[in-house]
């Protein structure tokens, strides 16, 4: 799949507030154990480009009691202030890698790892075990009929194979740019570069089982999510029945 993305364990810090993008190598090594654990769980993978509104959609599902496992959230958790990871990053790159409140300055780190393959590999080696461990831990504590797995680069990294259903949050490019510029404080060129490194709208939609059009107002989002939630409950129940009969 010819996406202009370099696979590694590193986190490419595409946004300053949230919405990290996982760009991993050896994907099967990471997820084989996890998905053995959740073999009886119906997985809906939620994806979409930057600025599409994935987090907003995930929050609507969470309001309905759906279990959410979010790659972005896990990425943030392992570099929170006070964690050994952040201490190691500070030791490696210096105090200017932190914001005044002690949190990670993702913009500065992004510049550093983009400029050096060696530094990127160092970050890969640091982050991989912790992200792997936390992802496993969350999958082992699953509840509910189905789970929503939020992965920004699902299609780019071929992870759709691990889900029973793929839900794409779709939005036109102009809105993506507007939201990204307003939210992240990035330049237009930086936003364009991020979009260029992700799957196109057509490539992403080719894997979609379900689509949420997020070009409209948020008031239209909740009814659509509720509709999909009812649908997924039925699909999950049917899948469970089939598995039970085959045992």
Query: Domain coordinates of the chain in residue numbers?
Result: 11-246
Per residue in 20-38, pLDDT tens? 443 344 444 455 445 544 5
Instruction: Tell me the C-alpha distance between 48 and 71, whole Å.
Output: 13
Per residue in 80-91, pLDDT tens? 999 999 999 999
| 195 in Cβ contact with 177 (< 8 Å) | yes
pLDDT at 247: 61
For residue 100, how many C-alpha atoms fall within 13 Å in the half-sphere facing its CB?
0
Instruction: Tell me the C-alpha distance between 149 and 71, whole Å.
Output: 8
Could you give phi then psi for residue 231, rounded to 5 degrees?
A: -65, -45
Instruction: Tell me the C-alpha distance between 194 and 196, whole Å.
Output: 5
For residue 195, how many C-alpha atoms fall within 13 Å in the half-sphere facing its CB?
22
Q: At what angle do helices 221-246 and 54-63 cross, to 10 degrees?
A: 70
pLDDT at 193: 77
Pick the CATH number of 11-246 from 3.40.50.1360, 3.40.30.10, 3.40.50.300, 3.40.50.720: 3.40.50.300
Instruction: Tell me the C-alpha distance between 58 and 175, whole Å.
Output: 19
Instruction: Give whole-number Cα distances, 74 to 71, 134, 139, 224, 236, in Å.
Output: 5, 7, 12, 27, 25
pLDDT at 27: 46
| 169 in Cβ contact with 48 (< 8 Å) | yes
Please give the annotated binding residues, written as ranges.
51-56
Closest CA to 14 of 193, 155, 138, 144: 193
- Using the structure block, give the residue that is written with the tokens 């952040």: 86
pLDDT at 142: 77
pLDDT at 209: 98
Please give the annotated binding residues for ATP, written as ranges.
51-56
Q: Regarding beta strands 11-12 and 21-22, do their DSSP bridges make them parallel or antiparallel, or are they unpaired?
A: antiparallel
Instruction: Tell me the C-alpha distance between 143 and 202, whole Å.
Output: 33
Closest CA to 210 of 195, 192, 231: 231
pLDDT at 107: 78
pLDDT at 127: 83
Q: What is the CA radius of gyration of the chain?
A: 18
* Full pLDDT tens readout for the chain, 247 residues: 333 333 333 433 434 444 444 334 444 445 544 554 455 678 999 999 989 999 999 999 999 999 999 888 888 888 999 999 999 999 999 999 999 999 999 878 877 877 788 998 898 788 877 877 887 788 777 778 899 999 888 898 888 988 999 999 999 999 988 888 887 667 788 778 778 878 899 999 999 999 999 997 778 899 999 999 999 999 999 988 887 776 6
| 51 in Cβ contact with 183 (< 8 Å) | yes
pLDDT at 28: 47
pLDDT at 4: 33
Lookup: tokens for 134: 């936390």
pLDDT at 40: 61
pLDDT at 8: 37
Lookup: tokens for 219: 């008031």
pTM here is 0.78
């Amino acid at each position: 799949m010819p996406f202009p993305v370099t696979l590694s364990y590193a986190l490419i810090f595409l946004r300053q507030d949230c919405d990290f993008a996982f760009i991993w190598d050896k994907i099967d090594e990471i997820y084989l154990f996890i998905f053995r654990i959740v073999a009886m769980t119906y997985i809906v993978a939620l994806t979409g480009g930057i600025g599409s509104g994935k987090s907003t959609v995930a929050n609507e599902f969470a309001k309905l009691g759906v279990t959410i496992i979010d790659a972005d959230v896990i990425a943030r958790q392992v570099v929170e202030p006070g964690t050994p990871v952040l201490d190691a990053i500070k030791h490696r790159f210096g105090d200017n890698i932190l914001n005044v409140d002690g949190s990670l300055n993702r913009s500065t780190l992004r510049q550093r790892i983009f400029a050096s393959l060696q530094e990127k590999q160092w970050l890969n080696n640091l982050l991989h075990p912790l992200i792997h461990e936390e992802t496993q831990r969350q999958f082992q504590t699953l509840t509910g009929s189905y789970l929503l797995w939020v992965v920004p680069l699902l299609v780019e990294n071929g992870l759709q194979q691990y889900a029973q259903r793929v839900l794409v949050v779709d939005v036109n490019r102009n809105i993506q740019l507007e939201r990204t510029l307003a939210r992240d404080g990035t330049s237009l060129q930086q936003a364009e570069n991020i979009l260029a490194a992700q799957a196109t709208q057509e490539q992403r939609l080719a894997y979609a089982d379900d689509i949420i059009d997020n070009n409209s107002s948020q008031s239209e989002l909740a009814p659509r999510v509720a509709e999909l939630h009812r649908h997924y409950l039925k699909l999950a129940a049917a899948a469970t029945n089939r598995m039970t009969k085959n045992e």
